[in-house]
Amino acid sequence: MNEQDKHIVPTKTFVSVWIVLLMLTAVTVTVAKADLGAFSTFTAIMIASIKAGFVLWYFMHLKYEKRLLKLLLLVPIITLAVIIGLTFVDVWYR
């Protein structure tokens, strides 16, 4: 890693992301207590995906990586989304 490749992220950014993650956790708990019917699981997975995105983007510094690595990350995400989607379809149509 060159001296130019290093990036310094201010502590304020990490604290802000942490607070957002805490708020999303509170939303997850609230949604879990609410009766959303068939959309409960879908909503919980969507919130968890958003939280995972924040962790990847800021704490794992994906924000500063090259475009190729960001695009390569989409492959497992799309694969997982297809598998989860097919599982939901299988359960809904039984």
Give the model confidence (pLDDT) of 47-74 as tens digits.
Answer: 988 998 889 888 888 888 888 887 888 8
Q: Is residue 68 in some structural domain?
A: yes
DSSP 33-76: HS--TTHHHHHHHHHHHHHHHHIIIIIT-GGGS-HHHHHHHHHH
Domain that holds residue 16: 11-93
Q: What's the total number of domains in the chain?
A: 1
Q: What is the pLDDT of residue 20?
A: 95
Q: Is residue 2 in some structural domain?
A: no
Record the pTM. Answer: 0.71
